[in-house]
Amino acid sequence: MSSIYIPGQKLGSIRTYESGPGTYVRGDCIFASVSGVLEETTSASGFGKKKVQIIRKKDSLLVPQIGSIVLTRVTKINTRFATCMILSIDETVLPDPFPAIIRKQDVRKTEIDKVEIWNCFRPGDLVRCKVISLGDTRSYFLSTAEIDLGVVYATSIAGEVMYPISWEEMECPKTKMREHRKVAKIRLAGQVEAAGK
């Protein structure tokens, strides 16, 4: 899932890359404007730069099913649930996201009554979830109650990508400030592995 990029995620500097389809430039940086997979190509400009673009895999028949592992982006939270958009299903990027929610009772298996959504997720977080119900007409219901489910990407208040230090905390490499999250225990090459719960 490390190759999946979401709108607003930084791709590189304009000093190194040229902006291609599915990206935009702000200041000196290039960002993704759509969800998809990063692709680097040789630029036709002749300045020795590579062009970066985001490729959206088209699969209109792909929809979440009960038991599907999905990657979501949190859009807002309240005391009862986190509202999300499903960006990929079983590592396949969706051309258009599906709305979903993670209810308070589906965050963890234990101590459900002590769960506070604000201490588990924040808007902008990427969260690995399992589809547990087709929900209602507006949203799928998701769970992060298993050890390998939870936040896999988050930025700090300072705008830095944080790394997990436990199953419930992530740390900003710049400020060393810690923020609460429900962290996923993931095993991907080159990534920090955090103890899950």
Q: What is the pLDDT of residue 196?
A: 37
Q: What is the pTM of this model?
A: 0.65
Q: Is 11 exposed, middle or buried (0-12, 13-18, 19+ CB in 10 A)?
A: buried
The answer to whether 148 touches 185, Cβ cutoff 8 Å, is yes
Long-range contacts formed by 56-62: CB under 8 A, 24+ apart: 56/22, 56/93, 56/95, 57/92, 57/93, 57/95, 58/95, 59/92, 59/94, 59/95, 60/95, 62/89, 62/92, 62/94
User: Following DSSP, what letter does each residue of 72-118 receive, concatenated?
Assistant: EEEEEE-SSEEEEEEEEETTEEEEEEEEEEEEGGGS-SS-GGG--GG
Other Cβ atoms less than 10 A from the Cβ of 164: the count is: 24
Percent of the chain whose predicted confidence (pLDDT) is above 90: 41
Q: What is the pLDDT of residue 100?
A: 94
pLDDT confidence band for 57 (50 / 70 / 90): low
Q: How many residues does the chain have?
A: 197
Q: What is the pLDDT of residue 47?
A: 65
Q: What is the pLDDT of residue 121?
A: 95
Amino acid at 38: L
* Residues 65-92 pLDDT 10s: 889 999 999 999 999 999 999 999 987 8
pLDDT confidence band for 1 (50 / 70 / 90): very low
pLDDT confidence band for 44 (50 / 70 / 90): low
Distance CA 169, CA 183 (A): 7
The answer to whether 147 touches 185, Cβ cutoff 8 Å, is yes
Average pLDDT over the chain reads 83
- What is the set of domains in the chain, with CATH numbers? 4-55 (2.40.50.100), 57-197 (2.40.50.140)
The mean per-residue pLDDT over the stretch 118-147 comes to: 89
Distance CA 13, CA 22 (A): 15
> Taking Cα atoms as reference points, which of 101, 96, 165, 94 lies closest to residue 129?
101
| Buried-state track 107-116, b at ≥16 Cβ within 10 A, e below 16 | bbeeeeeebe
Question: What is the maximum span of the chain, computed from C-alpha positions, in angstroms?
Answer: 60
Q: What is the pLDDT of residue 35?
A: 73
Q: What is the pLDDT of residue 61?
A: 55
The mean per-residue pLDDT over the stretch 102-124 comes to: 89
* Residues 146-191 pLDDT 10s: 999 999 999 988 888 999 998 889 999 999 999 999 999 865 444 4
